Amino acid sequence: MNKKTVPFTEEQIRSIIAKYPTPFHIYDEKAIVDNVRKLIKAFDWAHDFKEYFAVKAAPNPYLMRLLQKEGVGADCSSMAELELCDKVGISGHDIVFSSNDTPYEEFKRAMELGALINLDDISMIDFMEQRGPLPDWICARYNPGPLLQGGNDIIGTPEEAKYGMTREQIFDAFRILKEKGVSHFGLHTMVVSNELQVTGLIHTAKMMFELAAEVQELLGIDIEFLDFGGGIGLPYRPEESFIDYDELSAGIKQYFEAIMVPKGLEKCRLSFECGRAITGPYGYLVTTAIHHKHIWKEYIGVDASMANLMRPGMYGSYHYLSVMGKEDAPKDHVYDVVGSLCENCDKFAVDRSLPEIVDGDILVIHDAGAHGHSMGFNYNGKLRSAELLLHADGTVTQIRRAETLDDLFATIDFSNL
């Protein structure tokens, strides 16, 4: 269970809306900081533990700076995300570049910034070497494929995922890289997504410890960096529960002590690349009800659309919805809450029991702080919304303005028309 609350009153949000019209995304600064501190503290037993925030989840430099101050690094997978790191002042091993199908310019930029390069495939060794020097530190991404079966049925089906290398390729890649003079090695994997069962996450860590131990036995390589990827889940539904970081940490510690410590690998840096778990629950999409219609079903039309939050339309994801000022009102109406795209999947909620909604009501869509604004798009000429940061004292900073039609048309030269 988790209680879905909002960090502002109706009066507060209406005064924010008076300055910044809906729709917008608003992030709760204090809640993000408290949350990431809790995660880092849970792993204080681990030497040099690092959370690398998956920039794609919320690529806003102000959020990155906030996290940077807490000792959080950045997990990047594109040129734009690397450039954002440069602007924020994140560099060196505070960046892990976990990309796939990577153009060389992106490897090059990542190496310029001193990032830890995480190779998605064994073919990347030749690909990089033909174009320039290899970095001295290399991490390899592992895809256990069907080998994971029997371990834990919570973990999905990695053999269907495009990422990473097979077990054999990991050993081959490290052998080749060692011959070529690479001297520092890491291992990465990401086999779960939005995982709410702590055992699935612990099992991933155990699998990686065992792999690191085998790499040492077979190749004489001491793994210095282990990255468990992202994937800590978010309880989107009120009946679901948050992952308990202390429980996660204790489970991982147990296997670390049993597998890594006896190998002399106690100094290995452990890390996560969580995005969703860090900002997801603390970002809200705020929108106004502007229409209602009654046909075969009851509809509420809002001024946000799937262009502001793609998850419900793309994955059928559930997002909790609050109607400001009606938090305690009986949920005696059943609505589809929809945006204005000419796509019938543009619905924030389907057959949802809610209090009666009238035009002008403020609706808050919860858990939109990761893979929310960042997945925004311009279909139907919809403009991406503003992003606001709500401070602990109730004040607000606009950390990205809303797009304008001029932004949308900026790439068209109308003079040749």
Ligand X SMILES: *Cc1c(COP(=O)(O)O)cnc(C)c1O
User: In this chain, which stretch among 52-60, 239-247, 281-289, 400-408 interacts with ligand X, using CB under 6 A?
Assistant: 52-60
Q: Return the number of the residue (141 or 382) whose C-beta is nearest ligand X.
A: 141
230 binds ligand X (CB under 6 A): yes
CA distance 402 to 59: 15
CA distance 274 to 88: 19
User: In this chain, which stretch among 78-86, 179-187, 214-222, 273-281 interacts with ligand X, using CB under 6 A?
Assistant: 273-281
54 binds ligand X (CB under 6 A): yes
In the bound complex, what is the minimum distance in angstroms from residue 163's beta carbon to ligand X?
A: 7
User: In this chain, which stretch among 147-155, 214-222, 228-236, 400-408 interacts with ligand X, using CB under 6 A?
Assistant: 228-236
List the one residue from 57, 139, 252, 389 that touches ligand X (CB under 6 A). Answer: 57
Number of residues that bind ligand X (CB under 6 A): 18
Q: Return the number of the residue (102 or 287) whose C-beta is nearest ligand X.
A: 102
- Quick note: the x/- pattern for ligand X over 173-192, rule CB under 6 A, is -----------------x--
229 binds ligand X (CB under 6 A): yes
Dihedral-angle region of residue 213 (phi above 0 means left; psi in -120 to 50 means alpha; beta otherwise): alpha
314 binds ligand X (CB under 6 A): no
In the bound complex, what is the minimum distance in angstroms from residue 54's beta carbon to ligand X?
A: 3
Distances from the Cα of 2 to the Cαs of 5, 138, 174, 320, 417, in angstroms? 9, 40, 44, 11, 55
- Quick note: the x/- pattern for ligand X over 59-78, rule CB under 6 A, is ----------------x---
DSSP 63: H
**Which helix (H) or strand (E) segment is 396 a member of?**
strand 396-400
CA distance 204 to 188: 10
What is Dmax (Cα atoms) for the chain?
71
Q: Which one-letter amino acid corresponds to residue 140?
A: A
Dihedral-angle region of residue 371 (phi above 0 means left; psi in -120 to 50 means alpha; beta otherwise): left
Helix axes 29-42, 61-68, angle to 10 degrees: 40
CA distance 212 to 226: 8
List the one residue from 200, 251, 275, 313 that touches ligand X (CB under 6 A). Answer: 275
User: In this chain, which stretch among 10-18, 23-31, 272-280, 288-296 interacts with ligand X, using CB under 6 A?
Assistant: 272-280
Q: How far is CA 47 from the centre of its chain?
A: 24
List the one residue from 42, 274, 310, 354 that touches ligand X (CB under 6 A). Answer: 274
Distances from the Cα of 400 to the Cαs of 68, 307, 372, 391, 409, in angstroms? 18, 16, 14, 15, 19
List the one residue from 109, 276, 352, 384 that touches ligand X (CB under 6 A). Answer: 276
373 binds ligand X (CB under 6 A): no
CA distance 133 to 414: 44
Ordered DSSP codes for 324-382: TT-TTS---EEEEEE-SSSSTT-EEEEEEEE----TT-EEEE-S-TTTTGGG---GGGP
In the bound complex, what is the minimum distance in angstroms from residue 192's beta carbon to ligand X?
A: 9
- Termini Cα distance of the chain: 58
In the bound complex, what is the minimum distance in angstroms from residue 207's beta carbon to ligand X?
A: 16
Q: Return the number of the residue (139 or 388) whose C-beta is nearest ligand X.
A: 139
273 binds ligand X (CB under 6 A): yes
Structure tokens at 170: 């990991």
Q: Return the number of the residue (29 or 75) whose C-beta is nearest ligand X.
A: 75
- Quick note: the x/- pattern for ligand X over 279-298, rule CB under 6 A, is --------------------
Tell which residue, 224, 229, 154, has the closest CA to residue 189.
229
- Quick note: the x/- pattern for ligand X over 87-126, rule CB under 6 A, is -----------x----------------------------
User: In this chain, which stretch among 146-154, 216-224, 267-275, 399-407 interacts with ligand X, using CB under 6 A?
Assistant: 267-275
Residues in the chain: 417
List the one residue from 170, 370, 389, 399 that touches ligand X (CB under 6 A). Answer: 370
Nearest residue to ligand X on Cβ basis = 230
User: In this chain, which stretch among 5-13, 24-32, 102-110, 275-283 interacts with ligand X, using CB under 6 A?
Assistant: 275-283
User: How many Cα atoms within 13 Å fall on the side-chain side of residue 245?
Assistant: 18
311 binds ligand X (CB under 6 A): no
Q: Which residues bind ligand X (CB under 6 A)?
A: 54, 56-57, 75, 98, 190, 193-194, 229-232, 273-277, 370
